[in-house]
């Protein structure tokens, strides 16, 4: 009954949010239904967050209070406008799109449900989700650094926890259903944006494809390398039969075309199954972009206010969206009203940027690590060519274009001679901004911003703990994904404006090229052992643990039943992407120190992390100050499993024989002790 209960919650939220969405965007053909469900989830989450932060109501009851608030607003609006709640024909079709996407996404996740430690952030994301489910009030405590508040954005996990709480299902199942739900919400939002923007449902389908499903052209180059039986660029030939190549398709290769960096597109993030911030933010970013499109057609203060609220909520989900969201907001406000006050927001952003640059928060990229044009095309080539088709189709060539063409050639020669080929993106962005302001084609703004966003990653990077040569990795990962969403929306509009049949045919071929990587990844990914393997079809992300590590699984289940939310559990210090720090991931209980490098990424200092690691080592080896350290970190339970026995071996004997702890669970070599 987990799936029906979760689905029912999503349906209730969608229906209760419809009057609110129609109030903010009554002029849209679907009544704003494409952003109704994200709006409802945001409303419930913010109410629960406010009540828990003010210590007025715990998070669990706060989620139900948020649902009541959403329902009360719906009743108020329906009484004021009895027709405001009715589903239009477009909204009914959208609901069919959402339901289909949700069912298909859940079906795929049944083949790959693992909350797994390797090649993903599953352990981190599950620890966040489980900790929120156990939390009473906020701020949320760091599950991997007991006793301290979490210095990381977690509103997306809070939203996922709300869906789990309201449906009353098991966390391991809720993790995967939340992944499926956010993907389906994104598909519906993209479909609604395309339909409203281009006026035909076929462009809604195209929007869902371009933004949420299609992927990098690099996958097509991998196919060519197989067919030609020769290496092409960094993609290697495979000599076996096609069926073997398909099952073993290297879906990771397309995400690593930029050295020392990772690039993703929305569908690939879904296939990974991570309930991570950059994935959760996609449906809300789409809802935000759709609201901006609605504002560009008809500006209203209530709609602008809720768009600001979406931008703030997005920052709580993924702080990397804030500068892009504020820029889009400023340009939208100016486009719709021609009031210079909106542009002052961009001026403030520039001041903040200069301050961060002077303080070292933003660094200047190494000139030797510029992204090549080939790498750019392997990622954004489909969008780039489609955008060129649009410009070529709508432009009337004349003799006046000869000097312009010469200037482009000169700029290309200079940029390539300086080993900075992507400098051309600045030139490429100009016609899109010109069409937005001169021809009143607002969606072209998204294409121009996407190009400038990609270009900015070639010049600057956010200075996080990643050092050379990977200092740009996070910057490229987070900003390229936002550029993909913005450019994808713009390309749907471009496709709808192309008239020449030859160019339309070329655009269709581009869509086919971009379909290769996601299609083959769907086939290959469930067979990848390094991403985990569960024997039976399941939506429970903990089933692999029950099958492969039954002793640890049993101990973690028992520990989760015995302990209360604030009890600290001692386990061995964790290393990223290894089977460690699993207590918070599967119970939500905090541990003294978890994955160490992640704590550094979140802002901790190495001396503090190393100090805790040393303390944990002393506690496990039965040092003379063990009792004092138990008290210092408020340790209530000690977990001794596979990881601890490998790390400490016979040194555990002094601890396990100590009179200061009592055995409360034992199965084979896994044991749980309570600190007396």
Residues 460-505: pLDDT tens digits?
A: 999 988 888 889 999 999 999 999 999 999 999 999 999 999 999 9
666 lies in some domain: yes
449 lies in some domain: no
Does residue 190 carry a pLDDT above 90? yes
Does residue 399 carry a pLDDT above 70? no
Does residue 99 carry a pLDDT above 70? yes
More reliable by pLDDT, 332 or 120: 332
Beta-carbon contacts of 491 under 8 Å, excluding residues fewer than 6 positions away, are 210, 383, 386, 387, 390, 447
Confidence of residue 407 (pLDDT cuts 50, 70, 90): low
CA distances from 543 to 121, 270, 325, 327, 347 (A): 18, 20, 39, 44, 52
Closest among 575, 473, 598, 560 to 150, alpha carbons compared? 598
Packing angle between helix 444-459 and helix 373-394, nearest 10 degrees?
160
Closest among 473, 362, 377 to 421, alpha carbons compared? 377
DSSP string, 556-608: HHHHHHH--TT-EEE-PPB-TTSS--HHHHHH---BS--BHHHHHHTT--HHH
129 lies in some domain: no
**Average model confidence (pLDDT) across the chain:** 92
Poorest-pLDDT segment among 194-203, 307-316, 397-406:
397-406
Domain range spanning residue 598?
A: 549-675
Does residue 86 carry a pLDDT above 80? no
Stretch 121-140: mean pLDDT, rounded? 94
Does residue 584 carry a pLDDT above 70? yes
Residues 135-174: pLDDT tens digits?
A: 989 999 999 999 999 999 999 999 999 999 999 999 999 9
Stretch 334-354: mean pLDDT, rounded? 92
Token pair 């996601």 is at which residue?
A: 518
Token pair 């004997």 is at which residue?
A: 653
635-640 and 568-570: which strand pairing?
parallel
569 lies in some domain: yes
Beta bridge mates, 675: 661
Closest among 397, 382, 329 to 492, alpha carbons compared? 382
d(CA 232, CA 355): 44
Residues 296-306: pLDDT tens digits?
A: 999 999 999 99
Does residue 208 carry a pLDDT above 60? yes
Give the CA count within 13 Å in the CB-facing half-sphere of 630: 20
d(CA 186, CA 37): 10
CB 323 within 8 A of CB 484: no
Maximum distance among all alpha carbons in the chain?
92
Closest among 195, 212, 207 to 88, alpha carbons compared? 195
d(CA 160, CA 144): 20
Q: Over the range 400-435, which residues count as b (16 or more CB within 10 Å of their CB) and which as e?
A: eeeeeeeeeeeeeeebeeeebbbbbbeebbebbbeb
572 lies in some domain: yes
Sheet holding 635-640, edge to edge: 568-570, 635-640, 670-675, 661-667
Q: Output the six-digit token pair for 380.
A: 């954004």
CA distances from 128 to 10, 122, 135, 586 (A): 21, 10, 10, 10
DSSP string, 447-494: HHHHHHHHHHHHHEEE--S--TTSTTHHHHHHHHHHHHHHHHHHHHHH
Rounded (5°) CA angle 369-371-377: 165
d(CA 47, CA 129): 18
| Residue 307: per-residue pLDDT | 95
More reliable by pLDDT, 426 or 287: 287
670-675 and 568-570: which strand pairing?
unpaired
Give the CA dihedral 552, 558, 560, 561, nearest 10 degrees. 170
Closest among 522, 524, 532, 523 to 114, alpha carbons compared? 532
460-462 and 362-364: which strand pairing?
antiparallel
618 lies in some domain: yes
Closest among 609, 576, 577 to 593, alpha carbons compared? 609
DSSP string, 610-652: HHHHHHHHHHHTT-TTHHHHHHHHTEEEEEESHHHHHHHGGGG
For 666, phi then psi, to 5°, come to: -150, 130
Residues 606-632: pLDDT tens digits?
A: 999 999 999 999 999 987 888 999 999
Stretch 98-124: mean pLDDT, rounded? 94
Q: Say how many residues make up the chain.
A: 676
Stretch 9-19: mean pLDDT, rounded? 95
| Residue 13: per-residue pLDDT | 97
Beta bridge mates, 65: none
CA distances from 353 to 41, 191, 347, 356, 360 (A): 32, 34, 10, 5, 10
A 10 A CB-CB count for 379 gives: 27
Closest among 500, 488, 564 to 216, alpha carbons compared? 488
> Which letter does DSSP use for residue 361 in this model?
S
For 672, phi then psi, to 5°, come to: -125, 130
653 lies in some domain: yes
Confidence of residue 651 (pLDDT cuts 50, 70, 90): confident
Q: What is the CATH number of the domain that holds 610?
A: 3.40.50
Packing angle between helix 626-633 and helix 606-620, nearest 10 degrees?
130
> Cα(first)–Cα(last) distance of the chain, in Å?
40
Helix (H) or strand (E) holding 267: helix 266-272
Beta bridge mates, 362: 462
| Residue 84: per-residue pLDDT | 53
Which region, left, alpha or beta, applies to residue 357 given φ > 0 means left and ψ of -120 to 50 means alpha?
A: alpha
Cα 577 versus chain centre, distance: 18
Domain count, the chain: 1
617 lies in some domain: yes
Helix (H) or strand (E) holding 75: helix 59-80
d(CA 2, CA 14): 19
pTM, full prediction: 0.95
């Amino acid at each position: 009954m987990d799936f029906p209960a979760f689905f029912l919650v999503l349906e209730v939220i969608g229906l209760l949010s419809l009057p609110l969405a129609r109030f903010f965007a009554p002029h849209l053909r679907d009544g704003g239904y494409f952003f109704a469900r994200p709006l409802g989830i945001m409303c419930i989450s913010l109410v629960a967050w406010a009540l828990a932060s003010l210590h007025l109501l715990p998070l669990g009851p706060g989620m139900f209070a948020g649902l009541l608030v959403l329902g009360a607003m719906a009743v108020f609006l329906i009484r004021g406008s009895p027709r405001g709640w009715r589903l239009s024909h477009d909204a009914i079709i959208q609901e069919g799109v959402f339901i289909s996407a949700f069912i298909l996404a859940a079906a795929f996740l049944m083949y790959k449900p693992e909350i797994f430690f390797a090649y993903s952030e599953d352990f981190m994301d599950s620890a966040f989700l489980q900790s929120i489910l156990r939390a009473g009030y906020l701020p949320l405590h760091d599950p991997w650094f007991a006793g301290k508040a979490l210095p990381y954005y977690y509103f997306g996990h809070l939203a996922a926890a709300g869906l789990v709480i309201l449906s009353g299902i098991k966390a391991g199942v809720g993790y995967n259903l939340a992944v499926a739900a956010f993907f389906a919400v994104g598909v519906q939002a993209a479909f609604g944006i395309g339909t409203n923007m281009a006026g035909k449902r076929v462009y809604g389908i195209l929007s869902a494809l371009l933004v949420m499903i299609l992927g990098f052209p690099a996958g097509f180059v991998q196919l060519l390398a197989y067919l030609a039986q020769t290496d092409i660029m960094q993609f290697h030939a495979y000599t076996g039969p096609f069926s073997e190549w398909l099952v073993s398709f290297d879906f990771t290769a397309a995400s690593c075309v930029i050295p020392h960096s990772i690039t993703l597109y929305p569908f690939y993030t879904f296939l990974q199954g991570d309930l991570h911030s950059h994935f959760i933010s996609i449906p809300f970013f789409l809802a935000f972009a759709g609201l901006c499109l609605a504002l560009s057609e008809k500006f209203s203060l209530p709609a602008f206010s809720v768009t600001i609220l979406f931008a703030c909520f997005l920052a709580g989900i993924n702080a990397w969206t804030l500068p892009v969201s504020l820029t889009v907001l400023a340009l939208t406000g100016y486009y719709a009203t021609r009031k210079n006050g909106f542009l002052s927001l961009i001026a403030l952003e520039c001041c903040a940027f200069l301050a961060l640059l002077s303080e070292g928060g933003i660094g200047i990229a190494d000139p030797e690590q510029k992204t090549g044009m080939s790498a750019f095309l392997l990622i954004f080539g489909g969008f780039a060519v489609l955008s060129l088709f649009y410009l070529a189709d709508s432009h009337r060539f004349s003799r006046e274009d000869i000097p312009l063409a010469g200037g482009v050639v000169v700029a290309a020669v200079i940029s390539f001679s300086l080993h900075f080929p992507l400098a051309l993106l600045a030139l490429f962005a100009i016609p899109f901004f010109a069409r937005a302001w001169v021809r009143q084609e607002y969606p072209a703004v998204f294409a121009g911003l996407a190009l400038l966003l990609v270009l900015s990653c070639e010049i600057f990077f956010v200075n996080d703990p990643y050092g050379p040569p990977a200092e740009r990795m996070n910057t490229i990962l987070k900003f390229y994904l936002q550029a993909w969403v913005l450019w994808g929306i713009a390309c749907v509009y471009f496709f709808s404006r192309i008239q020449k049949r030859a160019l339309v045919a070329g655009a269709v071929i581009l869509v086919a090229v971009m379909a290769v990587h996601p299609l083959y990844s769907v086939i290959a990914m469930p067979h990848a052992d390094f991403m985990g393997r569960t024997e039976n079809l399941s939506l429970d992300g903990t089933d692999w643990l029950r099958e492969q590590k039954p002793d640890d699984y049993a101990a973690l289940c028992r520990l989760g039943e015995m302990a209360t939310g604030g009890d600290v559990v001692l386990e061995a210090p964790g290393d990223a992407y290894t089977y460690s720090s699993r207590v918070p991931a599967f119970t939500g209980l905090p541990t003294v120190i978890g994955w160490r490098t992640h704590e550094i990424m979140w802002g901790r200092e190495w001396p503090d992390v190393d100090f805790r690691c040393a303390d944990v080592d002393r506690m496990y080896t039965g040092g003379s100050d063990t009792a004092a350290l138990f008290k210092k970190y408020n340790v209530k339970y000690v977990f001794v499993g596979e990881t601890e026995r490998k790390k400490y071996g016979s040194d555990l004997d002094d601890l396990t024989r100590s009179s200061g702890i009592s055995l409360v669970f034992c199965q084979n070599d896994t044991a749980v002790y309570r600190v007396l």
